[in-house]
Amino acid sequence: MIFLIFSLLLILVTTNAQRPQNVALNGRATGSTNTGILSAASNAIDGNTDPIWIHGSCFSSQFEFSPWWRVDLLQTYKISSITITNRGDCCADLTQGAEILIGDSLTNDGNNNPRCTKISSIALGGSQTFHCDDMTGRYVNIIRNRVLGFLSFCEVEVYGVLANNCC
């Protein structure tokens, strides 16, 4: 009987370990520019999807060429999907055309890593999920490549499992 209970617990723990979790919550975020507490890169991985910038849970770059944001997941993950929550107070177009990159390289601040997708648009205050087909990487970047302007959004959720965990 004890063996049966132990076996069931082991199956539950193993199953939960393989279920994708929001691994960005334990990461370290940075951006191409530091614009203060209300726009800090870490605001985008605080677990708070509040879409109002003044509430202090959004990221915004300065006006610059090719603005970017990155989260270091601290380990390499197989990433199944990424959900981005856009600002709801204004500026829905500040994610338009941005690329989501995933990889293990910090060359060019991680902006040379392979592309998961390009964001066409995210509704004002909306969230959109992008599927990355289990791409592997330690770094997730969002960049408005070759654009002069801002990059701004309120939350990035990265769902994955450790890459060295096998089926």
Fold of 21-162: Jelly Rolls (2.60.120)
6-19 exposure pattern, b = at least 16 Cβ within 10 A, e = fewer:
eeeeeeeeeeeeee
Q: Please give the span between the terminal C-alpha atoms of the chain, in angstroms, as a whole number.
A: 27
Half-sphere exposure of 119 (CA within 13 A, CB side): 30
How much is the pLDDT for 3?
A: 46
Average the pLDDT over 41-56 and give the result. 97
How much is the pLDDT for 7?
A: 47
Regarding predicted confidence, which is higher, 67 or 2? 67
How much is the pLDDT for 157?
A: 98
Mean pLDDT of the chain: 91
Examine the pLDDT at 156 and tell me if it is beyond 70: yes
Instruction: Using DSSP, state whether 94 is helix, strand or coil.
Output: helix
Cβ-Cβ contacts under 8 Å for 7 (sequence gap 6 or more): none
Examine the pLDDT at 111 and tell me if it is beyond 90: yes
Instruction: Using DSSP, state whether 61 is helix, strand or coil.
Output: coil
- Which tokens belong to 32? 């191409």
Average the pLDDT over 145-156 and give the result. 97
How much is the pLDDT for 15?
A: 45
Examine the pLDDT at 41 and tell me if it is beyond 50: yes
Half-sphere exposure of 67 (CA within 13 A, CB side): 20
Average the pLDDT over 46-66 and give the result. 97
* 140 and 82 Cβ atoms separated by less than 8 Å: yes
